[in-house]
Structure 1
Amino acid sequence: MPFTVADVPHLPAGFSDTFTSHTVETTELTLHAVVGGDGPPLLLLPGWPQFWYSWRLVMPALAEHFTVIAPDLRGMGASDKPATGYDAARLADDTAELMTALGHDRFAVVGYDLGMLVGYALAAGHRDRVTRFVGAESILPGLSPSPPLLSDPATNEFLWHFAFNRLADINERMVAGREEIYFGHTFTSKTADPPSRSTSSTSTSTSCATWTPCAPASSTTGPSTPPPSTSCGGATRGRCPSRSWR
């Protein structure tokens, strides 16, 4: 399984002494999460197109005060990658099931970017379980004002991927085989200090971003049967993890 604690590079010293990878079977899929620390449970939700690894530098300090749970959301990292189910409400229900399976009835949530959307849906849909919620670096569709379609160049450069990722099929066909271009650009153009990011660290987040394109959304027969899967680190790459992330 790729993307587990044992697989990824550049972890803080002693990280694996505190944190371990766990897999949980939910109603629909298998989710992966990295867990460690001692104290009240704290759920850390990553942004797009990242996985638990994006929290690695702050997890050791948080683990001194909390039981830290950093999952890979549906379609990301070592979690399953089904063709459907990428709306925020479904992702929130996934994480609620994950926390139940890990033995946490009530917990605090921190999410940024996509993680903020999922965290908000989780707090709204499971109010009796979420004790605190902190969100950052995103808007909330339906609540936050939406930027205009034709924006100034700087805003367009920053937000163009929102509309691109919501397309039904052409986006996957354009990115397939060019993942390093698309995701590499995302990381280098949206990182606060791009020169500080090592090439291998960026590659960790982009190397397994390949998927087999799904059937067009207009198909009435559902996704077509994929050709034989390729592998990354011995695991099957998922199909369509990008369709509804944004």
Structure 2
Amino acid sequence: MKNKWTKRIMKKNTEDKILLIVEGNTDLEIVKTIFEEALIPLESIDFIAANGMAHMPRIIKEHRNFYDEIVVLVDLDINNNFEAESVARLEISSEDYDYHVFTAVPSIESWLFSDIDNAYVKSKGTERTKEILSRLPMPDDIPYPRQLANNVFGKNNFRYVLNGFNINAASSRSPSLRKFVLGISDILRLDSNLKWENEYVRTAGRDVFAKLVDERNLLFTKHWMAKK
């Protein structure tokens, strides 16, 4: 049990920081790399990998007296951005804790495909890989991003994949990523460096085409991954 003096010291050490809780170490690695590309200062954030959503309520409760702002990022596990944060909050806890919720739709691995040009460069480069990348839907609509990322990039190779990726292009193609980056910037009271609108205009034609072939792509993706 921490005494009141310990609590005061901890509060002083964290008063200029926010706490960001993610589900696991892979999420932590991806988030930190994204923040570096988005010019969000890592020294303004304390990170905790919760080892699963089930542990988040306890972590929030243990730390809520030491941080003015607590943020959680979770995988939504469904391809839907509609009221995603409200859905996730109900899954995390029924208690009325004061914290911010952001979601990766359907999981954080979908963000690895948000800059599709970078995904081509960082992929294994086989003809089959190039074909599947050329037919991908928008990142938040990818059916099995975790399995697909392991097949396309190699397992646990995600920090390399994100190094040097175009955060503006990525944010223009993934609403869940864009909400997360803009939301963290707002909580930290930073002027966002995102220029996603111009990238959206530049890539809109290609993305509309990808959406049109989405149903065919879903069948192709399942067939391709079944062979792996």
Instruction: Tell me if TM exceeds 0.5.
Output: no
Q: Comparing both structures, which one devotes a greater share of its residues to helix?
A: 2
Radius of gyration: which is bigger?
A: 2
Normalised to the residue count of structure 1, the TM-score between the two structures is 0.31
Normalised to the residue count of structure 2, the TM-score between the two structures is 0.32
Q: Comparing both structures, which one devotes a greater share of its residues to strand?
A: 1
